[in-house]
């Protein structure tokens, strides 16, 4: 009679474990969802050098499940509207997470927009390569929000950028006045010719004249 009892106990144990197995296996693989709305900071010139655009004070975003950090990245700003966006990787499941937005206290110094940087982007390397060596310093939290994901719904994984208190891009120094025209400039008047005005626009021919 001992064997049937063992069999009954074994079946009972399996019945208790079955829901746990289903619960563990129900979550799908992580979904790569874009982080939308990162500000665009265009390239600019410092003297004659082209510099890569970026936020002066980058933003750090973290996705937390309780105290566990599931995802984090530093957002330095996009150089163009068509630049590749960062993506989050959160499991495909019905769950609720906390999205934490912080602004770095350290400035991220601009760098030259070299051909090497463009080639790295063309080869599809990670955006973090462009932020290598940057230290965020103390990141001050300015917003927290909830992210409710739904299984088989990639759109529910999308996070939209929350603007920081200081959303300033690096930019070149604008000249105080336009450079004066020179004799080598196209359309510049000849020496001694009447002043055609600030825009150096040629005077129109008198109306009603006939060519000889």
pLDDT tens figures, 93-104? 999 999 999 999
> Distances in Å between the alpha carbon of 143 and those of 64, 106, 139, 174?
13, 19, 12, 34
Q: What does the pLDDT profile of the chain (212 residues) look like in tens digits?
A: 455 554 544 455 445 444 443 444 567 899 999 999 999 999 999 889 999 999 999 999 999 999 999 999 999 999 999 999 999 999 999 999 999 999 999 999 988 887 545 555 555 544 444 556 789 999 999 999 999 999 999 999 999 999 999 999 999 865 433 344 444 344 444 444 444 444 443 444 444 433 44
How far is CA 87 from each of CA 61, 63, 94, rounded to the nearest angstrom?
11, 12, 19
């Amino acid at each position: 009679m001992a064997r049937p009892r063992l069999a009954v106990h074994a079946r009972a144990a399996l019945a208790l474990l079955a829901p746990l197995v289903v619960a563990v296996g129900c979550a799908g693989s992580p979904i790569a969802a874009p982080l939308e709305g990162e500000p665009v900071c265009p390239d600019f010139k410092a003297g004659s050098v082209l510099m890569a655009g970026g936020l002066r004070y980058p933003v750090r975003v973290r996705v937390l499940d309780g105290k566990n950090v599931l995802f984090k990245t530093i957002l330095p700003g996009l150089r163009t509207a068509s630049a590749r966006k960062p993506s989050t990787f959160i499991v495909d499941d019905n769950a609720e997470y906390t999205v934490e937005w912080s602004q770095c206290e350290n400035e991220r110094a601009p760098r030259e927009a070299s051909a090497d940087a463009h080639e790295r982007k063309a080869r599809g390397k990670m955006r973090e390569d462009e932020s290598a060596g940057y230290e965020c310093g103390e990141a001050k939290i300015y917003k927290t929000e909830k992210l409710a994901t739904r299984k088989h719904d990639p759109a529910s994984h999308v996070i939209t950028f929350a603007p920081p208190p200081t959303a300033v891009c690096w930019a070149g120094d604008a000249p105080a006045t336009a450079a004066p025209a020179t004799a080598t400039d196209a359309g510049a008047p000849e020496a001694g010719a009447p002043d055609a005005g600030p825009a150096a626009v040629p005077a129109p021919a008198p109306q009603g004249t006939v060519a000889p």
